[in-house]
Amino acid sequence: ETPTRDGYTFSGWSPAWSSTVTETVTYEAQWTPIPQYTVTYDLNGGTGTAPDSATGYENTSVTVANDEKFKNPGYTFSGWNTEKKGTGTDYAAGSQLNLVRNVTLYAKWNPSENTQYKVEHYWQNVENDEYTLHETKTMSGTTGTKTAAEANTYPGFTAKSFEQTTIAADGSTVVQIYYDRNKYTIYY
């Protein structure tokens, strides 16, 4: 009967097995270690605690870690990938990974569709050409895309031109819109 041993494969007997035995012979099992491999996790820009590494023997499966201990503001976790840029093999949290080599799994992050940003509306002062904050509106959009701020209509004011900006993942984006007072000339 072929013997078994955890972490090893049986590779034969020593000395070589003989069918003719003329004296007492002790045969010793020869073992070849099964390679062990490790799965490590890289948060790939996320913050918090990375999952613990997992180790196992070649051609055994390990369960891929979940996302409970880390985050990335402005993004949602969408699983793991064998490449930092997400171009390798995808693994969902809780799926099985067959160990054939050491591997690092990188967190995949999708841009959040509800990242907040602010739109500030400034009115020109009466006494000088400076501006004072009139109101602030909180809006949301997809991280990494352009804002969708719009000028308001205020009686007696005209909005100056402004540019949309890219929505930052951390919610720090602010679009400032300035309004000049309308000037009229009165003739007597």
pLDDT on residue 20: 80
DSSP 171: S
pLDDT on residue 90: 96
Burial class from Cβ neighbours inside 10 Å (0-12, 13-18, 19+) for residue 70 reads middle
Q: What residue type is assigned to position 137 of the chain?
A: K
HSE value, Cβ hemisphere, 13 Å, CA-based, for 97: 29
Residue 59 backbone phi and psi in degrees, to 5: 65, 25
Q: 162-170, long-range: CB within 8 Å, 24+ apart, which pairs?
A: 167/74, 167/115, 167/117, 167/141, 167/142, 167/143, 168/74, 168/115, 168/117, 168/143, 169/72, 169/73, 169/74, 169/75, 169/111, 169/112, 169/115, 169/143, 169/144, 170/73, 170/74
For the chain, 188 residues long, give each residue's pLDDT as a single digit of tens.
889 998 899 998 888 777 787 888 888 999 999 999 999 999 999 999 999 999 999 989 999 998 778 999 999 999 999 999 999 999 999 999 999 999 999 999 999 999 999 999 999 999 888 999 999 999 999 999 999 999 999 999 999 999 999 999 999 999 999 999 999 999 99
pLDDT on residue 171: 94
pLDDT on residue 67: 72
